[in-house]
Structure 1
Amino acid sequence: MFAARAIGRTARGLPKWTQFRSVSTLEGNPYIYVFPNAGPTAGSHILSLLPSEPVNPDLAIGVSSQLPPTTDSFRENPKFLDIVQEVCSEHAHEDPDAKSQAQVMVSMAGANLNSGGVLLSGQRQRGRKRRGEAGDSNSGASGQGGAGSGGRGGWIHVSDSRRPPDYGRIAWPEDMFGSLEVDSNGQFVGGNGNYQPSGTYRMVTRDGIFGLSPFLREKLVKKLRELETQKSS
């Protein structure tokens, strides 16, 4: 699902026969660009949210020895994850979907939401357990300090979009970027929700690779471009 595919890009001001060049992206993930790694790990692939060449390794998602990336082949860039957390801390409370989650949390006792930014009110349960774990290992948010504390406030969780949790449940720890605190009126505490990183997020799991909500991804790409400009100046 994540094999690399090539797309065409053009360079302005060049003759037509020289305008086309190939840029690879992960299939199913058109916002993740794939570049050959010419460094010490030649033969591997650098994954980035920026199409710029040469790739700045400090701003890349990470390196994978195969495509699609797997938990064994992928080596994440901890600097990139730090940037992700910085963006979440600054902007997660502005995400329209997070605002919707906050409002639903205080208005519906026992309601639970997909913290990646999509309400799960109409989603069917998948009936699939991860890694053979049974019972309530992925228990309802109301039992884990998440959404579902109608009229009392609580926490909503910012999580990866690669595997939305089942209805009435929260994301797995490895899919969770962090949490936002909401008061009894559905407003984010402290203005920014007192964002708390989870410390458990993994860039690649068996369910796929890194994926933010469209709103947060846009903010992240903007931040990466700013850092890219600073580092090249």
Structure 2
Amino acid sequence: MLMNRLAHSAHQLRCIRASPILRLRGSRYLSTLPENPHIYVHQHPMDPAKKVLSLLASEPPTLQLAIGTADSLPVTPRNFTTNPHFLPILSSVFAEHAIHDSYVKSQASVYASAGGTFLSGPNDGAGGANHQGGAGGAGHGGWIHISDLRNPPDYGRIAWPEDIFGSVEVDGNGNFSGGDGGWQDSGTYRVVTREGILGLTEFMWGKTVERLQELERQIKQNS
């Protein structure tokens, strides 16, 4: 069970960094990544040589809920280690809330028009640079691939697998199939790439922080 794994796991991670911006919170200075002010940079409580990256400002950081750790800043794929608990949590948030994001709903609306773009299935492995979405007429549904904002694909193209969080299905009228879109995790997403670190819409960022805060309260109550 996820909560048991979170509550009883003290996993060492590696965090990310990049000329942090200092912000005063009460009597503490908290730093955030310049390229993403939603990501806090904490000192690792067990390894002073590492930084803990988290969407939560809590001090000390709850390692089980962090994005990951970095050996140095700025964060790169080589100096960053993802927290193995984070992506399953993120995927569960997308499964529940992605279809309510205006960014995703605007893509779904394309299917309600005669010029709707048909996107391939959730397990398509083509990269954004070499996969062109085929054009479909009205009445043709398909899959919307929800990708990281750090490297948005050109219109009609599919993002690189490492940038895709997952997919939801829509029908030809632009409605999410089954009412919830049948969320499918991509299994290929990477938190840090050469294009940058995790980039969420304001809506999904807010929902993810809410989930992490809820889990953090449960962890503290059980400790």
- TM-score w.r.t. the length of structure 1 is 0.79
Aligned to 1:218: 206
Q: Which residue of 1 aligns with 2:167?
A: 179
Question: Do 1:26 and 1:33's aligned partners in 2 also have CA atoms closer than 8 Å?
Answer: yes
Indicate if the aligned counterparts of 1:112 and 1:167 stay in contact, CA closer than 8 A. no
Q: For residues 175-197 of structure 1, what are the alpha-carbon distances to aligned partners after superposition, in whole Å with 9 as ceiling and x for unaligned? A: 00000100111000011100100
Equivalent residue of 2:179, what SS? coil
Q: Which amino acid aligns with 2:83?
A: N
Q: Please tell me whether the aligned partners of residues 129 and 160 of structure 2 are also in contact (alpha carbons under 8 angstroms).
A: no
Displacement of 1:108: 4.8
> Matches of 1:176 and 1:79 in 2, distance apart?
18
> Counterpart in 1 of 2:45?
38
Preserved CA contact (<8 Å) 1:138 1:171: no
User: What's 1:49 paired with?
Assistant: 55
Residue 112 of structure 1: CA displacement?
8.0
Aligned to 2:157: 169
Structure 1 residue aligned with 2:36: 29
Match of residue 14 from structure 2: none
Which of 176, 185, 203 is the equivalent residue of 2:191? 203
1:134-149 residue pairs with structure 2 within 5 A? 137-142=129-134, 148-149=135-136
Return the match for 2:86 from 72, 80, 89: 80
Aligned residues: CA RMSD: 2.0
Kept in 2, the 8 Å contact 1:33–1:51? The answer is yes
How many residue pairs were aligned? 197
Rounded to whole Å, the distance in 1 between the matches of 2:76 and 2:193 is: 7
Q: TM-score, normalised by structure 2?
A: 0.83
Task: Name the aligned partner's letter for residue 136 of structure 2.
Answer: S
> Does the residue aligned with 1:24 lie in a helix, a strand or coil?
strand
Q: Give the corresponding residue for 2:181.
A: 193
In structure 2, what is the equivalent of residue 103 of structure 1? 109
Identity of aligned residues (%): 50
Q: 1:11-62: per-residue Cα shift (whole Å, max 9, x none)? A: xxxxxxxxx42101001211100011132x4311000000001111110000
Q: Secondary structure at the match of 1:88?
A: helix
Are 1:158 and 2:164 matched, yes or no?
A: no
Residue 67 (structure 2) aligns with: 61
5+ residue gaps in structure 2? 1-16, 120-126
Going from structure 1 to structure 2, the CA distance change for 1:104 and 1:136 (only over 3 Å counts) comes to closer
SS in 2 for 1:46: strand
CA change 1:84–1:31 in 2 (3 A) is same
Aligned partners of 1:90, 1:206: CA distance in 2, in Å? 29
Q: Deviations over 1:66-96 (max 9, x none)?
A: 1111100000012011100000001101111
Structure 1 unaligned segments of length 5 or more: list them. Answer: 11-19, 114-134, 143-147
Counterpart AA for 2:214: E
What's 1:6 paired with? 22
- Please tell me the residue identity of whatever aligns with 2:84: P
State the alpha-carbon separation in 2 of the partners of residues 38 and 193 from structure 1: 40
Change (3 A) 1:112 1:215: farther
Q: Specify the code of the residue in structure 1 equivalent to 2:130.
A: N
